[in-house]
A and B are shown apart, each in its own frame.
Chain A
Amino acid sequence: MTDTPRKTARSSAAAKKPATRKVATGKATARTAADRKTVSARRDAPAAIVTHKPAAVLIVGAGFAGLGMAIRLQQAGVTDIIILERGTDVGGTWRDNQYPGAACDIPSNLYSYSFAQNPNWSRSFSGSREILGYIHHLVKEFGLERYIRFGKNVQELKFDEKKGLWSATTAEGEVFSGRAAVMAQGPLSNASFPDMPGINEYKGHKIHSARWDHSYDFRGKKVAVIGTGASAIQIIPELVKEVEHLTVFQRTPGWVMPRPDFETPEWNKEIFRKLPFTQSALRQALYLAHESMALAVIWSSPLTRVAERVGRWHLHNQVKDRWMRRQLTPNYRIGCKRVLISNDYYPALQKPNCKLITWPIYTLCENGIRTVEGIEHQFDCIVFATGFEVSKAGTPFPVTGVGGRQLNDEWSRGAQAYKSINVAGYPNLFMTFGPNSGPGHNSALVYMESQLDYAVRGIQKILGENLKMLDVKPHVQKQYNEGIQKRLAKTNWNSGCMSWYLTEDGFNATMYPGFATQYANQMKEFREKDYLVVPG
């Protein structure tokens, strides 16, 4: 239960990459990871509780966000970092989503960090394993391993206003603390079987797309896939090659666009390696191409019509049967839900051993799925590509702020933050992928980078000026959100379709209503006067 100091804490990578700037980060950062000793269990506390010495920064989650945060902090000279990760490996999304066909749907050159470009991407849209490999490479390259504590499932975050400390209690009963805390637990990291009627009666094999069962042999099996979202359209073309018969249950069809996927030839990688600016240029071009997509996807504009025409053309081109085309035609504006990208999804649905079912499911039963047309569809295995538990109106675990206030309560009608990253009443707390930071059209990592740099500025201020609290002013946050909601009202997401972007009452606490560039610009500016500052 103790935190063993790593023998090789100063790994070669860490030595190779010294902090780029040395800032006065206060006492806390003076210690290195190596000499940070665990304070053993306090005698007066219950046996299970182990309290660790405070760090400068406490990060929850070792996915792209948590690791990126550590890299940027380290580059700014902050190295007293603890990353709490409930899993046994880094990578989050890309560690968990290992289903057949898993890949990003934003080109890899854009779906990677600009401060750690990878010339070796094998194709335009890399697979899950390759992305996970890139994340492992980041950990090694920047020597992040020393910060990470695996198997620490955070159950609560609590602010002690007297000490100006955030503490995280884990399921195992340990308490970690830090002067600043970063919630990087991922927007799509909690996956479980959906709450469908009869789900516990089903006796066959169940697999969730985000917890793939690699030991299951699909050959000769009758298999169902529930869901036709981003994961499903990647799984279906792969599964159909393996199984005896595949049945796809669709509730709402998505807009599917062609996917320009190419292998990257070796000479191209060589150019990227030798002339990194060429890769940066490509990245910039991809960035702009995706930015222009915003015009189609976020707002209703002539480009929206064009995009819809491309979607319809793709469908018409790939699906011959008129009724099937009707079943696959969305009845909402493009962009209202996540736009899907695939060349092999429609063809897969038309394979002789595949069947698309659009009858509503009313229950699962011992042998399969019963749909409203009265038929029981029987399966050896059901794959749930039903998405994630997204906390649109709450936090994944209790977060307690100043005076015992609960973020869950405050967010019960929809989450709100200032610039998606700070919440008034919760000083020194930063969020990646916070409220209204969701990109509809561009790489999540583009958004993430500007959040990370914003957080670094806040954290540097807290540590450098030895602040007890850096707390966004409530009226500033309120004003910001009024602006956001006004702009959201004009977007496609709020145009009437139901999606995971919206709460039950149709409140959009998920998406950012604008270009990535606009978002980046707002994050570039750290206005001190927006914050209440309490010195330590």
Chain B
Amino acid sequence: MAMIDLDKMLEKVKATQWALADIDWDAPGAELVTKEQWPQLKDFMVDLMWIEHVGARGFAAMAKKAPTETLRQLYSYFHAEEQRHANAEMALMKRWGMLEGDELPEPNINIRLVIEWLDRYADGMPYYVLGTVIPMLEVALDGALCTFLLESVNDPVCHQAFEKINDDESRHLGVGFTVMEMQGHNKTSIQMVKMMAPMLDPRLLLGIASYLPLLNKMRDNVVKMGLPEEKLYAAMNKFKRIGGRTAEGRRNPWYQFIQHHGSIMVKRSNRFYHIPVDAAVKVTGLIPRRMLPAVPSWVKELTWQPTA
């Protein structure tokens, strides 16, 4: 993957759009989801669609920060595309009888905390922080979770949907890695250190505090579903490999930080990291729901219905 031409990418993104209505959600094959799979698959899908949705909000923040008009437009599209992924995944859940009525699946507490954080602080985050965190999440999603899903679920409609989703994702990654490299480009060491300054920003620390338990919890859920841990390592290695394929990419200190963190996160044997974070998962699990503020209105835009 070399650095890509962002203008051409924007053209391509515009030319390769799809809608939920392109898929026949009532086509045969739903029965191929086995009874044993069903409960874990439901948990997995709920997490997955919420992660997509949270990623969407991340792109919305990037669109406000984008240094060029082309990137601004790309991020506006990606914002909507992530929402489309969440919508399509909900449509699959509907198909598999995993939604109660028209209700949105309940987000777990960690998702709720991340949503809260994004709603309050994402727009204030520096561009390069978002620009590195998002590709890491995307690699995890694309490289590990979705591949795994396709390996274990035989429903052809699921495959049809994820073929489209993965096409979108490959473009998100292409842009994401290109931007990471652009940021490592022509920067002095002092500028690099300055890029790390937001680490001390309490808002970012708060974000990290709500984000780490989410990652751990998701990791546990997929492992419970039978995803071999090696797959997660492989995904993190992919982030490390592609993000660090050029000197510019490696020079980006946020790349260094996040790839490092990504590897620790997937390795459950690193107790130094996981004992406190897993504890945080437990603690956050104890927060009573009514203590959380109402979900922001952008969350209510999700829908599994192809037409409105």
Contact = CB atoms under 8 A, between A and B. Distances in A.
Interface of A: 321-324, 326, 331, 359-360, 362-363, 367-368, 370-378, 498
Contacts of B119: 322-323
A375 B20 contact: yes
A323 B81 contact: no
A324 B297 contact: yes
Contacts of B69: 498
B307 A376 contact: yes
Contact of B19 (A331, A376, A498): A376
17 contacts: A322-B296, A323-B296, A323-B297, A360-B80, A362-B17, A363-B17, A370-B17, A370-B19, A372-B81, A372-B84, A374-B19, A374-B20, A374-B83, A374-B88, A374-B306, A375-B306, A377-B307
Given A363-B17, A376-B306, A371 B80 contact: yes
Given A321-B297, A375-B307, 7 more contacts: A322-B119, A323-B298, A368-B307, A370-B21, A372-B80, A372-B84, A374-B84
A322 B116 CA distance: 12
Contacts of B84: 372-374
Interface string B269-308: 0000000000000000000000000001110010101111
B171 to A, nearest CB: 12
Interface residues of B, number: 27
Nearest to B302: A373
Nearest to B83: A373
A373 B308 contact: no
Interface string B15-43: 00111110000000000000000000000
Interface string B129-165: 0000000000000000000000000000000000000
B252 interface: no
Contacts, number: 64
Contacts of A331: 64
B27 to A, nearest CB: 17
Contacts of B64: 331
A247 to B, nearest CB: 8
User: For chain A, what secondary structure do more than half of its interface residues adopt (helix, strand, loop), or is it mixed?
Assistant: mixed
A499 to B, nearest CB: 12
B77 interface: yes
B14 interface: yes
A377 B307 CA distance: 6
Nearest to B73: A360
A375 B14 contact: no
Contacts of B306: 374-376
A44 to B, nearest CB: 53
Nearest to B23: A374
B123 interface: yes
A376 B301 CA distance: 14
A326 B123 contact: yes
Nearest to A379: B308
B178 interface: no
B105 to A, nearest CB: 17
Contacts of B301: 373
A360 B307 CA distance: 16
Given A326-B123, A362-B17, A372-B17, A377 B88 contact: no
Nearest to A359: B80
B87 interface: yes
Contacts of A363: 17
Nearest to B91: A374
A148 B93 CA distance: 67
A324 B300 CA distance: 12
A398 B224 CA distance: 72
B237 interface: no
A359 B296 contact: no
Nearest to B298: A323
A394 to B, nearest CB: 24
Given A322-B119, A360-B80, A374 B307 contact: no
Going nearest first, the 9 A-B pairs with the smallest beta carbon separation are: A374-B84, A372-B80, A362-B17, A373-B83, A359-B80, A376-B307, A373-B80, A374-B20, A323-B298
